[in-house]
Amino acid sequence: MSQADAQKVNSLNAHGGAQIAFEKNFIFEVARKLHPIVKQATEGLGNAFKQKLLPNLDQAQVDKFFEVKSSVASWR
């Protein structure tokens, strides 16, 4: 961890310059936490866009554009 990054969080100050290692499921857990946030934000943008939808745009294409999917069934 760089000193600059460690200084951003008080509890990490002592770890500046230290090597860190993530557990093998770290990325999966980050994705699991972020997925509902991304889904909600994207769908919110999509709903706002659809309210202003021009008549010549295909509704199905717009829905597909703002769709958030995951290969993990429990995240759907």
> pLDDT confidence of 72, banded at 50, 70, 90?
confident
List pLDDT tens digits, range 18-67. Answer: 998 889 899 999 999 999 999 999 999 998 888 887 777 888 888 899 99
* pTM beyond 0.85: no
Q: 3-state DSSP call for residue 31?
A: helix
Answer yes or no: is 35 within a domain.
yes
Answer yes or no: is 28 within a domain.
yes
* Boundaries of domain holding 49: 9-75
The CB-side HSE value for 1 (13 A sphere, CA atoms) comes to: 17
Answer yes or no: is 43 within a domain.
yes
Answer yes or no: is 4 within a domain.
no
| Distance separating alpha carbons of residues 24 and 19, to the nearest angstrom | 16
Answer yes or no: is 41 within a domain.
yes
Answer yes or no: is 2 within a domain.
no
Q: How many domains does the chain have?
A: 1
